Structure 1
Amino acid sequence: MSVKILADSACDLSAEDLKKYGIEMLPLTVQLDGKDYQDGVSISSKQVYDAMREGKSPKTAQVSPHLFKEAFEKHAKAGNQVLYLAFSSELSGTYQGAKLMEQEVKEAYPDFKLHVLDTKCASLGYGLVVIRAAELAQTGAGMDEILEVSKHFYEHMEHIFTVDDLEYLYRGGRVSKTAAFVGTLLKIKPLLHMEDGKLIPLEKIRGSKKVYKRMIEVMSKRGTDFENQVVGISHGDALETAEQIADMVRAKWNVKDIKINMIGSTIGAHAGPGTISIFFLNESPK
């Protein structure tokens, strides 16, 4: 019996990715101009970034419990095994909502093989975990193997990123108004990473060129075995910059592959246009 892989829209995988790897996506909610939209379904990342450039402040909400219940019940009735890999519980209540629905659905279908895991990852770092799980599922791997490899990936996935404008992090409550103002005035670029699923400031660097160079330096220090892994680069509607970063990575390492995707509406609503992120493993992939 094949394993079905579910993820939410914070994994920042494209429609093409979802189709290619047979991944079922559950959308988070984006609130803009008083209306609710399904991330990646009824609103695009580009629409959200354009709205932010116009001074609007979109909000986000977790995947609705109803969507989880509907998806889980569908697979329970079909007799499928399901692995739902969730967006970091430190950044959203989506994982907790899924756990509640897991309990409810399993009471009605006690034989249903369902696993709900908190990846503690975000954006394409999360997406790379999901893709690896889906690749294994497509080759007919069993649940135990997929769980083991997925855990290795999300426990060793590095997230290194910077934002173009601190104002967006201020709106999301990540920095103070003073820090945002001074940072913008002095062209300060924050370098951040993820630690146990939380966003943690790493350094403050003056100027975009210096921060991108520093990202590669951090990658060199933390990463390993790049020849055997896919590196992820996600961007807030800044494809040209993402491709420049990819060229910097290729110039330094003979990486297996580089995947470039746009940051979706959910994370983009908080990070803003111009955000650049790099994702890679700090241990050899399984």
Structure 2
Amino acid sequence: MAVKILTDSTSYLSEEICRELDIKKISLSVSWNDMSVKEVDINNEDFYRMMEEKGIPKSSQPSIGEMLEEMKRVVANGDSLVCIFLSSEMSGTYSSALMVKDMVLEEYKDAQIEIIDSRSNCMQLGFAAIVGARAAKEGKTLNEVVELVKQNLRRSRFLFIPDNLEYLKKGGRIGGAKALIGNLLKIIPILTVEDGKTAILTKVRTKKNAVSAMIDKLVKDSSIYGLKEIVVHHINCYSEALDLSKLIEEKLGVKADIVDIGPVIGLHVGPGAIGFVYYTEKDMR
């Protein structure tokens, strides 16, 4: 019996990594009044163009049918399954997965399925899936894979900064007055994910200073906990992401791959957002 890994599209894992590690993804969607599209089926440039034309869309979780089909496919083959999904504070995907698990167990009573709430998204979720998949390929048991995934989530951090506060305002994350004042004063919040929700780590003046503050936090965590892997995230600002990746390599001597953030998460922050996700050798929480 093998252990298989299922995650969702907000992990933003590349198709290459998913093939290499045998990770399956189910997609969340974005929808306007007149159309709905899976985020894996639309690129960022088209999405933000459509958002300018149609307004901010709503995001929705994967369909119950798709989730049920994927879980059944695994257990029908005699394998066990570890599902790792974005934060239950951000989406109903996790709670739906618990319901689908019960549906599967009605038909496959001996099925072994574990559902994990990552309490995050993007490559903080993605790294958890990667670590789980690597462990599964090494022949680890279901319980061992689950523990390594949970351990990784205790050891990872996501830091990012918006280009401006307009999308946070539009998405209801901050009030209009705060957004106006913040933009006028060029105040940039450094955002993170804590206890499943987007939180403000600190605020600084200008995006350049925000990048420096993020790097300082990364260097400090690396010196205390030991850095394992890191990726740079961006939304439609690849050249800035490349500069940030080079800066990380200069500071720490490690390679940071660049990973786009897609529509479901990106609609809350907007184009020009940049940051990184990393995990360490020791627990940070």
Instruction: Give the TM bin, normalised by the shorter chain.
Output: over 0.9
Contact 1:188–1:207 at 8 Å: present in 2 too?
yes
Flag structure 2 segments of 5+ consecutive residues without an equivalent. none
Flag structure 1 segments of 5+ consecutive residues without an equivalent. none
Secondary structure of the residue aligned to 1:205 is strand
Deviation at 1:209, TM superposition (A): 0.8
Moved more, 181-190 or 167-176: 181-190
Deviation at 1:281, TM superposition (A): 2.3
Amino acid at match of 1:237: N
Counterpart for residue 232 of structure 2: 233
**TM-aligned CA distance change 1:215 to 1:53, over 3 Å:** farther
The Cα offsets for residues 134-166 of structure 1, whole Å up to 9 and x where unpaired, read as: 122223222122111111101221111111121
- Residue 146 (1) aligns with residue 162 (2): no
For residues 83 and 46 of structure 1, the distance between their equivalents in structure 2, rounded to whole angstroms, comes to: 33
Deviation at 1:33, TM superposition (A): 5.7
For residues 258 and 140 of structure 2, the distance between their equivalents in structure 1, rounded to whole angstroms, comes to: 27
For residues 120 and 3 of structure 1, the distance between their equivalents in structure 2, rounded to whole angstroms, comes to: 22
Deviation at 1:89, TM superposition (A): 0.9
Identity of aligned residues (%): 31
Deviation at 1:283, TM superposition (A): 4.3
The Cα offsets for residues 97-151 of structure 1, whole Å up to 9 and x where unpaired, read as: 1111111211221111111100112111111111111122223222122111111
Deviation at 1:53, TM superposition (A): 5.1
Deviation at 1:231, TM superposition (A): 0.6
Residues 12-161 of structure 1: pairs in structure 2 closer than 5 A: 12-32=12-32, 34-40=34-40, 42-52=41-51, 56-161=55-160
TM-score, normalised via structure 1 length: 0.92
Contact 1:231–1:258 at 8 Å: present in 2 too?
yes
Contact 1:227–1:253 at 8 Å: present in 2 too?
no
Contact 1:187–1:207 at 8 Å: present in 2 too?
yes
State the 4+ residue runs in structure 1 displaced beyond 4 angstroms: 224-228
Deviation at 1:2, TM superposition (A): 1.7
Contact 1:226–1:254 at 8 Å: present in 2 too?
no
- The higher relative CO (CA closer than 8 Å, separation ≥ 6) is in 1
**TM-aligned CA distance change 1:208 to 1:228, over 3 Å:** closer
Moved more, 16-25 or 158-167: 16-25
Contact 1:2–1:137 at 8 Å: present in 2 too?
yes
Deviation at 1:232, TM superposition (A): 1.8
Contact 1:225–1:283 at 8 Å: present in 2 too?
no
Deviation at 1:191, TM superposition (A): 0.8
Secondary structure of the residue aligned to 1:212 is helix
Amino acid at match of 2:37: Y
For residues 269 and 38 of structure 1, the distance between their equivalents in structure 2, rounded to whole angstroms, comes to: 14
**TM-aligned CA distance change 1:248 to 1:54, over 3 Å:** farther
**TM-aligned CA distance change 1:36 to 1:117, over 3 Å:** same
Contact 1:232–1:259 at 8 Å: present in 2 too?
yes
For residues 139 and 50 of structure 1, the distance between their equivalents in structure 2, rounded to whole angstroms, comes to: 43
For residues 236 and 198 of structure 1, the distance between their equivalents in structure 2, rounded to whole angstroms, comes to: 19
Counterpart for residue 258 of structure 1: 256
Amino acid at match of 2:7: A
Contact 2:219–2:252 at 8 Å: present in 1 too?
no
Secondary structure of the residue aligned to 2:75 is helix
Secondary structure of the residue aligned to 1:229 is strand
**TM-aligned CA distance change 1:180 to 1:123, over 3 Å:** same
